[in-house]
Structure 1
Amino acid sequence: MPDLPLLGPDADPAAVADELLTAGHGDGLPVVPPTADRLAALVDGVAAPDAVLGQVPPLFGELTVRAVAWYAVLAGCRPAELPVVVAAVRAALEPRFNLLGIATTTGSPAVAVLVHGPVAASLGLTPAGGLGPGSRANACVGRAVSLALAGIGGARAGLTDMATIGWPGKYTCCTASLPGPFPPPADGDAVTVVGASGVLEVLPASGYRTPAEVLAPAAAALAGVALAAGDPGAFRDGEQFLLLPPEPAGFLHGHGWGPEEVSGFLFAEGNAVLAAGAAQLAGGSSAYGAGDLRVAASAGDVRVVVTGGPGVKMALLPSWMGGTRSVTAAVHPL
Structure 2
Amino acid sequence: MSNTGRKPFDFMGWRKLAFALSAVLIVMSVVSLAVRGLNFGLDFTGGTSVELAYQEAPSLDAIRDDLSAAGYEQFVVQNFGADTEILIRMAESGNPEMANEVAAVLGAGGDTLELVSSEFVGSQVGKELKEDSGLGLLIALAVVLIYVGMRFQLKFGIASVIPLAHDVIIILGVFALFQWTFDLTVLAALLAVIGYSLNDTIVVMDRIRENFRRMREGDSNHVINASINQTLSRTINTSGTTLVVLLALYFLGGEAINNFAIALIIGVVVGTYSSIYVSANLLIVLGVSREDLLLPVKEGAGDGEEEEQPPEWLNRM
Greater share of residues in helix: 2
Which structure has more RCO (C-alpha within 8 Å, separation ≥ 6)? 2
TM beyond 0.5: no
TM norm structure 1: 0.28
